[in-house]
Structure 1
Amino acid sequence: MSGSETVVYSEVWDLDSLLPALGTAEFQQKLVSAKKGLEGLVAQLTAVPEIAPDAAHVWCQLLAQFEDMETTISDLRSHVECYCASDATNAQFQRIEAELSSLAPLREQVGALIEAAFRTLSEEDLIAFVAKEPWLFERTYAWKLRQRAARMRLPEAQENLANQLAVDGLHAWGRLYDRISGALKIQLLEKGRLVEKSCSQVQFDSPDRAERQSNYFAADVAWKSIENLCAEAINHIAGTRLTIYDQLGVEDHLVSPLMWNRMSRATLNQMWSVITQKKSVLLKYLRAKARLMGLEKLAWYDLTAPLPRQPGQMPEKLPYQSACEQIVSAFGSFSPHMQDFAQMALRDGWSEAVNRAGKRQGAFCTGYRAAGQSRMFMTYTETADSMSTLAHELGHAYHSYVLKDVPYLLADYPMNLAETASTFAEAVLADARMQQAQHPYDRLCQLDAALADGVAFLMNIHARFIFEDNFHKARRNGELSADDLSQLMVAAQKEAYLDALAEDGWNPRFWASKLHFYFTGIPFYNFPYTFGYLLSLGLFSEGKSRGPAFAADFVKFLECTGSMDAEDAVKISFGFDLTQPEFWSRSIDVLAAKVEEFDKLTAAIIG
Structure 2
Amino acid sequence: MNQPITRNLPASAPDDLGGGGDLAPLPEWRLGDLYGGTEDPAIEADFAAIAADCGAFGADFRGRVSELDAAGLAGAIRRYEALEQRLARLHAYAQLVFSADASSAVSGRFYQSVTERITAIGTGLLFFTLEINRIEDAPFAALADEGGLAVYAPWLRDLREGRPHQLSDDLERLLHEKDVTGHAAWSRLFDETIAALRVPVGGEDLTLSAALNRLSDPDRGVREAAGRAIGVVLQRNARLFTLITNTLAKDKAIEDGWRHYPTPISARNRSNRVEDEVVAALVAAVTSAYPRLAHRYYTLKAGWLGLDRLEHWDRNAPLPDDADRPVAWPEAQAHVLAAYRGFSPELAAIGERFFTNAWIDAVPRPGKSGGAFAHPTVPDVHPYILLNYHGRSRDVMTLAHELGHGIHQSLAAEQGYLLARTPLTLAETASVFGEMLTFRSLLDGETDPARRRLMLARKVEDMLNTVVRQIAFFTFEQRLHERRRDSELLGEEIGDIWLGVQRESLGPAFTFSDEYRMFWAYVPHFIHSPFYVYAYAFGDCLVNALYGIYQDEVASGRGAAFAARYLDLLRAGGSRRHGELLAPFGIDAADSAFWQRGLDVIAGFIDELEN
Q: TM-score, normalised by structure 2?
A: 0.90
Which piece of structure 1 moves more, 392-401 or 504-513? 504-513
Deviation track 1:192-212 (CA, whole Å, cap 9, x = no partner) reads xx2222222220211111111
What SS does the corresponding residue of 1:523 show, helix, strand or coil?
Answer: coil
Q: Partner letter of residue 529 of structure 1?
A: Y
Offset, 1:364: 0.7
Matches of 2:349 and 2:413, distance apart in 1: 16
| Deviating more after overlay: 210-219 vs 148-157 | 148-157
RMSD, aligned CA: 2.2
Aligned residue among 66, 72, 80 for 2:86: 72
Contact 2:359 2:384 in 1 (8 A): yes
| SS at structure 2 position matched to 1:151 | helix
Indicate the residue corresponding to 1:150 in structure 2: 163
Q: 1:301 aligns with which of 289, 296, 313?
A: 313
Mapped to 2, the partners of 1:452 and 1:51 lie a distance apart of 57
- Go from structure 1 to structure 2 and tell me whether the alpha carbon gap of 1:133 and 1:107 turns closer, same or farther (over 3 Å shift): farther
Alpha-carbon spacing, 1:479–1:27, altered in 2? closer, same or farther (3 Å): same
Alignment partners' CA distance in 2, 1:41 and 1:177? 36
Between stretches 378-387 and 539-548, larger displacement belongs to 539-548
Q: Give the aligned partner of residue 235 of structure 2.
A: 224
Q: Secondary structure at the match of 2:374?
A: strand
Of the structure 1 ranges 441-450 and 299-308, higher mean CA displacement relative to structure 2 is found in 299-308
Counterpart in 1 of 2:225? 214
What is the deviation of 1:368? 2.8
Distance 1:446 1:506 in 2: 31
Aligned to 1:4: none
Letter in 1 for 2:575: S
**Aligned-partner Cα distance in 2 for 1:83–1:530:** 30
Counterpart in 2 of 1:139? 152
Does 1:188 pair with 2:195? no
- AA aligned opposite 1:50: S
Q: Secondary structure at the match of 1:376?
A: strand
Residue aligned with 1:139, SS:
helix
Greater RCO (CA < 8 Å, at least 6 residues apart)? 2
1:212-258 Cα offsets, whole Å, 9 max, x none, are: 11111112222122221111111111111111122223231111000
Task: Tell me which moved more, 27-36 or 236-245.
Answer: 27-36
Shift of 1:426: 0.8
Question: Offset at 1:104?
Answer: 5.5
**Alpha carbons 2:123, 2:177 under 8 Å: kept:** no
Q: Does residue 408 in structure 1 map to residue 417 in structure 2?
A: yes
Structure 1: distance between partners of 2:57 and 2:226: 51
1:523 match: 530
For residues 433 and 366 of structure 2, what CA distance do their matches in structure 1 show?
30
1:111–1:280 CA distance, 2 compared to 1 (3 A): farther
Give 2:28's match in structure 1, choosing from 8, 12, 25: 12
Give the fraction of aligned pairs with identical amino acids, expressed as a percent.
23
Which of 491, 500, 504 in structure 2 is aligned with 1:495? 504
Conserved in 2, the CA contact under 8 Å of 1:75 and 1:367? no
SS in structure 2 at match of 1:294: coil
Pairwise CA distance, 1:120: 4.6
CA distance in 2, matches of 1:503, 1:523: 25
1:297–1:500 Cα contact (<8 Å) kept = yes
Structure 2 distance, partners of 1:434, 1:151, is: 50
Q: What SS is found at the alignment partner of 1:13?
A: coil
Aligned match of 1:417 in 412, 426, 451? 426
Paired AA for residue 541 in structure 1: G
Q: How many angstroms apart in 2 are the aligned matches of 1:102 and 1:56?
A: 34
Structure 1 unaligned residues grouped into runs of 5+:
1-7, 601-607
2:34 and 2:588 mapped to 1: Cα distance?
41
Matching residue within 5, 14, 25 for 2:41: 25
Q: Deviations over 1:256-308 (max 9, x none)?
A: 00011110011011111221223322222211221111112322222222211
- Distance in 2 (alpha carbons) for counterparts of 1:465 and 1:457: 12
d(CA) in 2 for partners of 1:391, 1:545: 23
> Aligned partners of 1:568 and 1:252: how far apart in 2?
26
Query: Residues 140-198 of structure 1: CA distance to partner in whole angstroms, max 9, x if unpaired?
Result: 01001111123333211112112222221221111111111111111221xxxx22222
* CA deviation profile, 1:10-69 (whole Å, cap 9, x unmatched): 6111211332312333223334444444444444442334155xx333322221111112
Q: Per-residue displacement from partner, 1:395-424 (whole Å, max 9, x unpaired)?
A: 100101112222222212112311111111
Structure 2 partner of 1:558: 570
Alignment-derived partner of residue 382 in structure 2: 373
1:90 alignment partner, one of 83, 104, 111: 104
